[in-house]
Amino acid sequence: MLTAGKKTPFKGRQFTAEIILWAGRCHLQFPISYRDLECMFADRGVKVDQTTLFRWIQAYAPELDKRVRPHLRMTNGSWRVDETYIRVKGKWVYLYRAVDAAGQTIDFLLSPKRDATAARRFFRKAMKQSHTVSRRRITVDKNAAYPIATKTMERGRELWRFAKLRQVKVLNNIVEQDHRRIMRLVRPGLGFKSLVSASWTIAGYEAMAMFRKGQVVGAPANDMSAQPDFIAALFGAAA
């Protein structure tokens, strides 16, 4: 059973934890811009400007991702890895993402480049997650950087030597479909101002997706009433 901590990260905030977490869940789960969220608050008689909402997301989205990870169900050993694009400071950058064969979220990485070095960074980051198991199969597209990255990792004994890399694009439909959810959430914001702010926000997108997919032990995917209570407990706050 999840228990609330003695300290909460909301000390000194003008608004209550309940209001902040509600705003975070709305923005990270649905395609709602900061301007729309500001209007939603105003309609309820609460004045919160867009800058404040942005700061809340930057502070609590990555923290949500960090706190929910220990409560995730284990993914399987068949990975689907792919990249999509998002706009950061007026330029396109690469968003590496991985799900397992059942569509469960594994991890993500933002990178200004799409090469073997970026692929290795992503694999290393994903393999450190506590909800992953030994990689039996890694399915990717025809990007030539992936074989270079995995061979380098095999030589360095970072990758299980029996892991199989498959470059079969059609088998990656699961992760490609999952990209669409991210793009729907990104679109209302019209791009990010920095890689850091983009990474922190996307961490929140991914965390809320894990709830929706039923990956969080103690928060069933079809029980929307359990979600606020679980997230409040993660932050040591009252729902």
The burial of 77, by beta-carbon neighbours within 10 Å (0-12 exposed, 13-18 middle, 19 or more buried), is given as middle
Residue written as token pair 């968003």: 95
pTM: 0.91
Domains annotated for the chain, with CATH where assigned, are 17-72+194-234 (no CATH), 78-181 (3.30.420.10)
Q: Kindly report, residue by residue over 126-163, the tens digit of the pLDDT.
A: 999 999 987 789 999 999 999 999 999 988 988 877 78
Whether the predicted pLDDT of 41 surpasses 90: yes
Q: Which two tokens stand for residue 113?
A: 């480049």
- How confident is the model at residue 94, as a pLDDT? 97
The answer to whether 131 and 72 are in contact (CB under 8 A) is: yes
Nearest to 86 by CA among 15, 235, 188, 219: 188
Confidence of residue 3 (pLDDT cuts 50, 70, 90): very low
Nearest to 64 by CA among 163, 197, 208: 208
Residue written as token pair 């502070």: 59
End-to-end CA distance of the chain: 16
Dihedral pair phi/psi, residue 170, rounded to 5°? -65, -30
Q: Kindly report, residue by residue over 188-237, the tens digit of the pLDDT.
A: 877 799 999 999 999 999 999 999 999 999 898 878 888 999 999 999 88
Q: Kindly report, residue by residue over 64-120, the tens digit of the pLDDT.
A: 999 999 999 999 999 999 999 999 999 999 999 999 999 999 999 999 999 999 999
Residue written as token pair 């990656």: 172
